[in-house]
Amino acid sequence: MRPSKKEAILNAAVELIEQDGLEAVSYEALAEASGMSKSGIVYHFPSRYEIMRGIHQHLADQWEQELEEAAGGPAESLTGSQRLRAVVLSLNRSATKADLLLEVDARGQPEFAEIWRQVDDRWAPSPQNIEHDDDARRDYLVQLLADGLWTHDYVHETPLTPSQRKVLTDAILQLL
């Protein structure tokens, strides 16, 4: 199925971020990257803020779809362990530059952070009881290990090979 014009704009925006960072997202750059007119982009996104909000929502929706596919269903139909397993499986790939820049960007904008918080609340364990509950602490450590696997290649000189990622993912899953 062909993506909608709005989705095509958002995909082009993510590609711009991947190549040149958040600052690269402008109406002119999006028009060129998407093959649409500037007025067509303004029709869907009347401000740069709306473009950025749209990108966050677009990627959060994609991540939730990936989580549902990994888990075999929506979060509300699964156990906590099944949800956490899906999180680990979804984070066993290396983050992209766009992923990381948008995660940092979300922390500076409450509305953007809320988009990601909603997905986290459905899928990820809460740190709320980690000081007093062994199971909560274990689950949160699994989350932290998965987060580390996802960011590894950006904070270490040598990237992990696919076989190293698989071995580490399997070891993380054994903790569940």
Q: Which residue has the higher pLDDT, 67 or 3?
A: 67
Q: In this predicted model, what pLDDT tens digit does every residue of 15-45 receive, in sequence order?
A: 999 999 999 999 999 999 999 999 999 999 9
Cβ neighbors of 170 (< 8 A, separation 6 or more) are none
Q: What is the mean pLDDT of the chain?
A: 96
> Are residues 88 and 112 located together in one domain of the fold?
yes
> Are residues 19 and 96 located together in one domain of the fold?
no
| Domain extent at residue 8 | 1-46
The pLDDT score that the predictor gives to residue 3 is 65
In this prediction, residues 54-67 reach a mean pLDDT of: 97
> Are residues 132 and 79 located together in one domain of the fold?
yes
In this prediction, residues 130-148 reach a mean pLDDT of: 98
If one counts the domains in the chain, the total is 2
> Are residues 32 and 102 located together in one domain of the fold?
no
Q: How confident is the model at residue 2 (pLDDT cuts 50, 70, 90)?
A: low
Q: Is the pLDDT of residue 1 over 60?
A: no
> Are residues 31 and 110 located together in one domain of the fold?
no
> Are residues 73 and 152 located together in one domain of the fold?
yes
Quote the tokens at residue 138.
């274990």
> Are residues 39 and 60 located together in one domain of the fold?
no
Burial 104-117 (b: 16+ CB within 10 A, else e): ebbeeeeebbebbe
Nearest CA among 71, 95, 111 for reference residue 148 = 95
